Amino acid sequence: MPTLHHISAVFLSLTILLQPAMVFAGEWGLPDTGDVSRGAFIRAVARAFELQAHGNDALPYRRISKDMIEAVRAVHERDALSIFGKDLRLAAAITRGESIQITAKLAGLGQSGDGKTNFRDVRDDTALARSVDVAIDQEWLVPVRSTQFGVTRTLTGKEAEKMLKKASGRAGQQRKESGDSMTSQTIRIKLPVKEKTTVVPKSDILQTVWQLINDEYLYQDKVSADEAAYGAIEGMVESLDDPYTTFFRPVKAQNFRNQIKGEVTGIGAQVEDKAGVLTIVTPLRGSPAEKAGLLPGDEILAADDVSLAGLSFLDAVEKVRGPKGSTVKLTIRRNGTELSVSVMRDIVTVPEIEVTMQEGVGIVRIMQFGQATDTKLRAEMEKLALSKPKGVILDLRNNPGGLEHAATMVVSNFLPKGSIVSIIKSRTSSEEHKTADHPTFDVTVPLVLLINGGSASASEIVAGALQDTKRAILVGEKTFGKGTVQAVLQFNDQSSLKLTIAEWLTPLGRKIDKVGIEPDIKVVYSTERDEQMLKALDLLRR
């Protein structure tokens, strides 16, 4: 499923997001703000055009959740999803170019344009060029500038709403004129419904207490329906005692969405709740946290002399966050010793990829598994392969994770097509995720993988796959041990729930959550000399 790329300035855990069942506001379930995912757009376009699925044949796509099958099938049967290939990647943001091609196809206008444009980002005489002509003619979307349409830009909710209103209105008129007897169907965006609904525990008592508060409580000005509801939900979620399952009220949900997009304000450290203590998983490279000398494993006990003990995870995080330019004094416990560290907060943007050459060895640093890794790394690896390096060092130290699909793409550069990368195991099923591309590097090119305690989530997927297949030598220190899968569900009041729904295992079935991955060669990091990198280079000189 998926979602998502990730940074944080004091960050929530970077998770491997399977495709969520999303609940949005708006006429067709589109988000009021922000970008539109492919899944949300497919659902919206199916609803806008009142499409109905007719067949029951197996769909040719990978990883389609049950709640998406009907909408995907309805659009697929109109041959409108071919632009995506075999992997729809429904959680990825849809581009303007992709959205207009799907819409033009469903509106019966896919071949209407003349294929001639004056935009530098659109090649003439292509399906995309014809769709751009249609979009301009029908006033679906406005070019971003006179010489660029903006086909690679992500589609916003407002743009999608405007386009679908115009396009579906025309399509409805065409159906009326042609006597189309297609049965109208409404595709509602909702959580999966099971045959048997689980009753909220103590619901009769909850209802009675709420009624008594409204009827008898003396201080009626203090009664807030939203506060009561959110408090009840938070209590239910907190009872699970799972640091990765969290309910976000609307404001905090928006903060979480901003983090996923890759830019936030804070100290720039990924943190976790460990036994009730806010603990740094990794400071982000180039972040204020790293510059201040914070390290993986540092425990944050207080912020500006205010103790974080007893606070919820999110409340503790909020104490550490703050506006750009402000300074927070953190009380840190490191290896049993307390110390004070001052950090100036800033806007933190995470870079993703850095490819260099040293002594004839290709060094590939991946700072997080976001969209850039997913879409751009393979081209960089192909370019690196052409230089015929004597070996490759894949540096995943302090990489907190990100998109599961990006991790699979990274592994595909080194293992044969069809190789198992991970096994996703839920309560009811088990699914193998495999590489879909041929490797960019021959098996004769040696590979060393650098890991440490800040390598988590998607980083551990890569490490586990390359270690199980004996394709790489792992050098460094034991990884963090984050091996569960979360789905993010957004509700129509803009609150959301991040829920643990599965765990992943290595290709050989090894459990990683709370266990981590041990290196083949243990080398402790030193701030004076990068002994881990030196060891990797030494291995490839042999």
Q: Give the CATH number for residue 332.
A: 2.30.42.10
Q: Could you tell me if 332 and 382 lie in one domain?
A: no
Q: Give the mean model confidence (pLDDT) for residues 500-516.
A: 94
CB atoms within 10 A of CB 169: 12
Q: In this structure, is residue 225 part of a structural domain? A: no
| 27 — pLDDT class (breaks 50, 70, 90) | low
Q: What's the whole-number mean pLDDT along residues 271-300?
A: 87
**Percent residues over pLDDT 90 in the chain:** 42
Q: Is a pLDDT exceeding 90 seen at residue 389?
A: yes
Judge if 399 and 448 occupy the same domain: yes
**How much is the average pLDDT of 229-238?**
93
- With a cut of 90, say whether residue 243 has pLDDT above it: no
Confidence (pLDDT) at 452: 92
Same-domain check for residues 365 and 345: no
Range with the poorest average pLDDT among 16-20, 288-292, 474-478: 16-20
Residue 324: active-site member: no
CATH of the domain at 477: 3.90.226.10
Question: Are 378 and 488 part of one and the same domain?
Answer: yes
Long-range contacts from 133-139, C-beta under 8 angstroms, 24+ separation: 134/100, 134/104, 134/107, 134/109, 134/110, 135/100, 135/103, 135/104, 135/163, 137/112, 137/113, 138/109, 138/166, 138/167, 138/170, 139/166
The stretch 282-294 carries a mean pLDDT of 88
Query: Which of 178, 198, 220 marks a domain boundary?
Result: 178
**Per-residue confidence (pLDDT) for residue 113, from 0 to 100:** 59
Q: What is the pLDDT at residue 162? A: 85
Whether residues 320 and 377 fall in one domain = no
Domain housing 366: 353-541
pLDDT, position 258 = 60
**pLDDT over 70 percentage in the chain:** 85
Q: Does residue 235 lie within any of the structural domains?
A: no
pLDDT band per the 50, 70, 90 thresholds, residue 250: confident
Q: What is the mean predicted confidence (pLDDT) over 163-188?
A: 43
pLDDT at position 426 over 80: yes
Catalytic choice (133, 482, 496, 498) = 482
Q: 285 and 429: one domain?
A: no
pLDDT, residue 112, reads 59
Choose the final residue of a domain: 287, 320, 349.
Answer: 349
Q: What are phi and psi of 26, to 5 degrees?
A: 105, 160
304 is catalytic: no
Higher pLDDT, residue 301 or 259: 301
Specify which of 75-79, 277-281, 284-288, 446-450 reaches the highest per-range mean pLDDT.
446-450
In a domain, 78, yes or no: yes
* pLDDT value at residue 350: 62
Do 27 and 173 fall within a single domain? yes
In this structure, are residues 433 and 524 in contact, taking their beta carbons and an 8 Å threshold? Answer: no
The residue out of 178, 209, 235 marking a domain boundary is: 178
Give pLDDT tens digits for 442-462.
999 999 999 998 899 999 999
Most confident of 31-35, 128-132, 195-199, 391-395: 391-395
Q: Write down the pTM of the prediction.
A: 0.54
Residues 290 and 374 occupy one common structural domain: no
Instruction: Output the pLDDT for position 341.
Output: 96
Q: In the predicted model, what is the mean pLDDT of residues 46-51? A: 84
The answer for residues whose C-beta is within 8 angstroms of residue 80's C-beta and 6 or more apart is 101, 102, 105, 106
- When divided into structural domains, the chain yields a total of 3
> What's residue 219's pLDDT?
93
Min mean pLDDT across 54-63, 131-140, 388-397 is at 54-63
Query: What confidence tier does 395 reach under pLDDT thresholds 50, 70, 90?
Result: very high
Q: What is the mean pLDDT of the chain?
A: 82
468 is catalytic: yes
In SS3 terms, 151-209 reads as CCCECEHHHHHHHHHHHHHHHHHHHHHHCCCCCCCCCCCCCCCCCCCCCCCCHHHHHHH
Q: Is residue 486 part of a domain?
A: yes
Same-domain check for residues 362 and 337: no
CA-CA-CA-CA torsion sign (289, 292, 297, 300): negative
Residue 419 has pLDDT above 90, yes or no: yes
Q: What is the pLDDT of residue 184?
A: 25
Residue 269 three-state SS: strand
Res 260: pLDDT:
55
Do 407 and 500 belong together in one domain? yes
Catalytic residue among 412, 419, 422, 457: 457
Are 470 and 488 in the same domain?
Answer: yes
336 shares its domain with 421:
no
Residue predicted with more confidence, 516 or 8: 516
Q: Which of 468, 495, 496, 498 is catalytic?
A: 468
